[in-house]
Each structure stands twice: as structure tokens, then as C-alpha cells.
Amino acid sequence: MTIQDINKTYSRIIEWLDRKELKNVFDGLQGLIAGSGHYNFQDKLDELQETYKYMLRYRMDGIQDPMQEQIYRQIQASAYELADAVKLKALATDSPLYYYSRRRSLKLSCAIPFRNLHQQLGSVQDMKAADADIRVKQELEAACLTLFNKIWISDPLSTEEVCELQAVLQDEELPESVGCQVVSALLLGLEEYFDKEKMGLLFDAASSRKQEISVRALIAILLILYKYRKRISLYPFVSDRMSALAEALPSFTQIIQTIILRFILSRETEKISKKLWDEILPGMMKLSPTLGEKINLKDLNPEQLGDEMNPEWQESIFADKELSRMMTEFSELQMEGADVLHSTFVHLKNYPFFREIGNWFLPFTAGHSALESGFKTNKSELRLFEQMTQTSFMCNSDQYSFFLSMLQLPEAARSAMMGQFNEQTAEMIRQNREELLEKHSKVEQIAGRYIQDLYRFYKLFPSHLDFDDIFTYTLDFHNLSEVRPFISDAVSLTAIAEYYLRKNYFQDALTIFEELIKQDSENDILYQKAGYCRQMNGDLEGALKDYLHADLLNPNSKWIIRRIAVCYKTLKQPEKALAYYHRYEALNPDNLSVQISIGHCHLELKNYNEALKYYYKVDYLDTSSHKAWRPIAWCSFLTGKYDQARKYYKKILEAQPNMQDYLNAGHTEWVLQNNKAALDFYKQAVEKENGDWFKFYNQFEQDIPDLKKAGIEEDEIPLMLDQLRYML
């Protein structure tokens, strides 16, 4: 059985288990055992299958057994675990994947028992007493890496091993970094296969009084619950431990909510990197020294169904000028805690330090031997660099990258750099640190940095393709049945939904808004936001339904009235759109955008004279943009006011004409029997399309009915077109 066959068979078994097709599961397991030659699992498979057959027989005979459901769950859980165990054994010898190759290479070095590693790490006090002894520090760091690797590559943990690791987590004298590494190792190990003992240890870590360990453990728990969401309900202890944590941690719900929001923000990382290099930085480099210059915006139909949110939803309205946006966006993203530095450190993960997988998750300390040895002649530089990184938004992994890159500079260059810093700079660093602490709680900082550390690992680790990238998944933790009881309240769900909405994840937001509507069906804002999400997903009819419901609840919202009008207009129902535009007009009679939209509705309804009234009004009041010129010219043509149409097309052609303008001007001249001028305008229309006759003709053909109504004989049309083609 090849490695590919093993993986395919295992995947099929898991799919059958997810669908509870146990007969197929047992057949698949039999094939996997036989194909891999690991018959030591045969007795376990036979036992499971026999138990299942007995259960089915009792069920078919109608025998009521109160333990039946529990036995059924145990069979399923055991089948999952057996599939994992057979796969692990089958791939252990030959698989080239990083996990299995490291299991083989680390087998001897990780043979040391956990209790011995604990004793070795307990000598940390000796390290503090002999701080200058790099050798002692390196030995302890090596022991921590060995602990990490041993947990990561371990088989399902025995009861004795669990007790030894619990002792490590409960040891208050150990550095915080040890518990953090235990958590990360448990997470990576559980990513490979589910071990309920490792899961239990994560819950133990989440109960730690050391916040860094606790928050990291909660992040790991959520990730494992998501990965095994189709089987985790088979383990009742998980829900029990979650409830126990909720009781033990007063801020449990807030921490879970913070973690969820941070994972939503992590979705933005690649977009931020692209925007940073493609838009923000180039835009800032091109900034004019005179910031007061106005931006010329394109003359667009203002009543296209835009994506602007209701300003009433937000405490502040973002500036809509592109120049201002470019100048403020980077700092806004940074202060929000977004991962704005990912692209900066992409190429700084090739140092030998990062060859050890455990170092990707190591909490940052400037006292690490890899850094102190490089700064051994100037400890003040080390401390100043440490202050700089503490006031930044760097995750732990990036802080190590920063220090290691500084070590590549000659000592003289580093000293010259440090010479640029003075007391004023130190004060600025202190203020930045205080601002950071004020804007982001300790939990936010820990969660944000650890999630970024994870992101770096799954995206940049040299063998990252051998791992299942958690950041390619939706990670909608709020939908997990084990998490839902703690964040199902309206406040928590609203916070998550609002964040999805703000980050433009409209389907995710919509799902929550729909649930919130069930809880509060009289809340017009919820219908507004649900409608907006549907609109942004392209479901205009669904959006209109929600907007209409919101209008029933709050008939005085100008935003919703206008949304309904634009929806009807976009759905080609101008008569209904008119009714809502007139409602808006009554509330805001001086809005020229709405006036021109009313004119457009009348135009679509062929009420040309009525449309002209509104276009005239806009033209009279708006003396700068001339948005009404084109509709006035065309309506004048359609109503037989050809001299007026000619006057307006003349003004349009003197400004910034497009192909349609030349085409319509040609129609006007033709109707006025000025054939040569008509031909000239038609020729310029074709030239506007770079000589593409077919594009021109497609537009011309749509206007033939209007030309006929204006008095152009049908037989004259092909003659005019032929004459035009001879001129091209």
C-alpha cells in the first residue's frame, strides 16, 4: 500500500465516520490494516465491530437499553481513534512529511522522560544566579526545545506522562515560556491526530494563573474544537471542561470573543500586505506637498447602488477622499492591531534560529542566548532594542527576526544607529508603550501576537506545506456547539457580526444578523444590516425584502428610504422607485442626486417631459458638475426639441465627450437633415472606440427605434451606415 493509498483510504474512513456509516468504516479499516500490514490493530477492530453488531441486533429487536446511545458514541469515538492510530503507524516509517521525518530523527533525543526534563528545567534559578553563563542558558533552552519536540511527536499520552506534564504546567517556579511551549506543542500534536489526553492538558493550561499560558491555551482549544468539530461531540468531557473554565475565569466570554475577533482580523493579513505595497506606500510617496488641491472625481450616476454603510451605524464616518484615506489607513490598521508587518518580515525567517520548529512559538525575551551572545559587548544596545520592540506591534516571531537582523549589522553601524536616540526618543518610546497598553488590553495583545506567530508558522515555515494551514479555513468558532453556549447572548453575537460587517465578510455577518433578528424581530437596524449584507452579496431581492421590513419598523430613516428606491430602480421597477424617491425628496428636497434619479425614473417610464423638469432643476442649481446635460440633451431629442438637443450636445462635445455623445449628436444632426455633420459625428464615435465598427454598430442599433420615431426613414439607415463605412 503506497503512502498515497494510505492517505486516500484514511480520508474515506473519516468521511464515512462523519456520516456515521460504520459498516463502511469497518470495511475501510480492515483494508487499511491489511494493506499496511499492521495486524496488531486487528483485535481492536474485531472488538469494535462485534460490539456494534450486538448493538444493532438489540436495536432491531426493539430492546430498550438506556446505555445504547452512550455505547454508540463510544464506538464512533474509538473508530476515529483507531483510524488515526493505524494511519500514524502506517506512515511512521516511510512518509516524507516533516512530522514523520522528525519523529524518526528525534526518536533518540526525545527518549528522556518528561519528569527528567522537568527537573532539568527546574534549575532555572541557577541560570538567574549565573546570568552571564551563556552555556547554562543554552542548556536550559535546549531542554525546553526537547520538551516541545517530545510532546509534539509523542504517541497518545499515557496516564503517567499526563501526570508529569500536569506537574510542569502547575510548577509556578518555571519560566512562563515553558508553559507556552507546552501549549504550542500540544496544539501541533493534536493537529496531527486527536488525543483526548492532550486535549485535557490544554484545558489544564487554560486554567493557569499565568495569563500568557492561559490565553494561548484557549486559542489552541478553539482551533482543535474547529478541526475536529464533526467528532468532538463524542467526548462529553470537552463540554464539561468548557463549562468549568467559564466558571473559573470571570472574563471567559470576553476572552473568547477577543480571540474570535482577532482571528477575523487575521483574514485581512494578505489583503493588508497587498494594499500596503500596491496602494498605501506608493500613494504616500506620490503625495503632493499642497494637500488642499481638490480631487477630480468621475462623473458617475450618483444613484447607483453603492456600498456605503448607514452612517447612523457608526460612531464616526471615514473620510472618503482617496488622498486622506491613503495617509490614515496604515495607522488605523496598525492601531487596530492588524497584522501590518507580515510582509516586512517575510524574508527574515531564514536564520538558523528558525530551523527549530519550537522557536516559531517562543515568547520573546531579549535574554535569549542567541541574542545576548551577539550583544555581549554592549548590553545597553540590547535593552534599547528591547524597548523599541515592546512599543511596536511586532509578534514574538518578528521580534526575534528584528534582533537577529540587527546582529547582522557591524557593531560600529549599530552603535551609530543607537547614537541617534536621545532622551526625547526614549520618552516617545515610553508614551507609545502607554498608548498601546491603553488601546489594547493584555488579553488582546497576547492573543494578537500569538495568532500572528501561528500565522507566520503556517505561512513561512520552510516545510509549511506539510502542515494543514488553519488560516485557509473559515474558523467560525461562534458556530461550534461547544463554544456557542458562552457567546450566544446578543451582546457577544452583535460584536462579532459588527466586526464581520466592518471587514466586509458579509455572508458571515448575515448569518449572525439573521439569528439576532430571531431574538429581536422589532429591531429595524438589524434588518437594515441584514439587507446591506444581502445587497453586497448580490441578492438585491432579498436585500429589498429586509429594507422594506426595516422601513415598516422605522419609516423615518432617510438611508433606508433611499436604499429601497435604489433597489427598485436597479431591479427595473422605476414606478415603485419613484414613490420612495418622492418620500426622500420630502425629507431632503435639496438633494440634487435624488432629483436627477427621479428624472431617470421618469425617463425609464417614458415620461420625457416630466423627466426634463427635474433635469432642468438640477442643471439650474448645479452650475459646476453639469451632470444633467446628457439626460437633458437626450430627453430633448426624444421629445422632438432638436434645436435644444443640438445646443446641449454642443456643450457636451466641448467638454469631455465619449462615444455615446458623438453618436447622439450625430442622431440630432441627422434628424435636423444635416447629413454631413451627422456623418462626421458618427465617424468620431467610431474613432472613440478605436475604430471598432461592431461596438459602434451595437450602440447604433439600439437607437434605431428612436430614429424612426424622429422621422428617419427605415430605408435611409443602411445607406447612412454604408456611407459612413466608406469614410472610415
* 572 Cα distance to chain centroid: 34
Dist CA 705 CA 637 (whole Å): 13
Q: What is the pLDDT of residue 332?
A: 67
Is the Cβ–Cβ distance between 83 and 116 less than 8 Å? no
Dist CA 331 CA 337 (whole Å): 10
Dist CA 75 CA 49 (whole Å): 9
Mean pLDDT of 314-322: 42
Query: ∠ CA 146-348-269 to the nearest 5 degrees?
Result: 100
pTM: 0.83
Query: ∠ CA 558-559-563 to the nearest 5 degrees?
Result: 115
What would the grid cell of residue 402 be? 528584528
State the burial class of residue 9 (Cβ atoms within 10 Å of its Cβ: 0-12, 13-18, 19+): buried
What DSSP state is assigned to residue 234?
A: G
Mean pLDDT of 458-468: 95
Asked whether the predicted pLDDT for residue 381 surpasses 80, the reply is no
What would the grid cell of residue 181 be? 511551549
Q: What is the pLDDT of residue 402?
A: 86
Q: What is the pLDDT of residue 296?
A: 27
Mean pLDDT of 282-309: 44
Q: How many other C-beta atoms lie within 10 A of the C-beta of residue 345?
A: 20
pLDDT tens digits, one per residue of 182-195: 999 999 999 999 99
Reported as a pLDDT band with limits 50, 70 and 90, residue 375 is: low
Find, among 277, 423, 425, 402, the residue nearest to 345 by Cα.
Answer: 402
* 282 Cα distance to chain centroid: 24
Dist CA 691 CA 287 (whole Å): 37
Dist CA 48 CA 26 (whole Å): 9
Start-to-end Cα distance in the chain: 71
Reported as a pLDDT band with limits 50, 70 and 90, residue 67 is: confident
Q: What is the pLDDT of residue 56?
A: 92
Dist CA 717 CA 728 (whole Å): 17
